Structure 1
């Protein structure tokens, strides 16, 4: 509807008669009914299967948490990523983020890695601060990390 209003407004302003006009009162009610019926026809299909893209495991010694991120590391996985390290008790002495199956990461992912580092600093106030390592990044992901100067913040192998 806004597009039609704007088009009509624009058409009047530029003097163009080819743009669509607003419907008359009787037509408007019919259009609303048609829109409502069209919305009923469009139903959202929600899949029952959901696959996580963040996998965690605790090493045999119990001191190292390995977080594996697969696919695109972006804002859509911020909750999963945060749960991966916040739900571990007691906190590990080391957190390893395995990027071997990560195809791309964006600025949100860089922010999530910084939040992980901040969490480790917070946890480490009482004793040893858990170290964070980023491992197995492909050349594309490695390039993003180096351009972002993450090699100065994290240990990258």
Structure 2
């Protein structure tokens, strides 16, 4: 289980990627991936393309990320969730809160 982050070469996009399982064990790593970023109008992409499992604590962590993004007038997109993860996001109605691609 890993959390990685990268900033685009132009500095306008932060991509946070979660591998395998997204659960409470990643809480601190996930927070560390974005809390030091205070750039205004940044695009945040949460890449869930390699995430096979997600629990309710992950939903809460995504909401905390959303609050951070809004604080700095950014945009949050969830990118390429697996079918299983997409269903969890839809049940929680996250599509009403942010873009899911």
TM-score by length of 2: 0.94
Gaps of 5+ in 2: none
Q: Which one has the bigger helix percentage?
A: 1
Change (3 A) 1:80 1:91: farther
Aligned length: 101
Structure 2 Cα separation of the partners of residues 99 and 87 of structure 1: 21
Larger Rg: 1
What does residue 120 of structure 1 align with? 69
- Report how far residue 61 of structure 1 moved: 1.2
- Indicate yes or no: 2:91 matched with 1:142: no
> For the aligned residues, what is the CA RMSD?
1.3
- Indicate yes or no: 2:96 matched with 1:152: yes
Structure 1 Cα separation of the partners of residues 19 and 41 of structure 2: 22
Q: Which one has the bigger strand percentage?
A: 2
Structure with greater contact order relative to length (CA < 8 Å, sep ≥ 6): 2
- Indicate yes or no: 2:77 matched with 1:133: yes
Change (3 A) 1:131 1:97: same
What does residue 50 of structure 2 align with? 101
- Report how far residue 120 of structure 1 moved: 1.5
TM-score by length of 1: 0.61
Structure 1 Cα separation of the partners of residues 91 and 8 of structure 2: 31
CA contact under 8 A between 1:103 and 1:141: conserved in structure 2?
A: yes
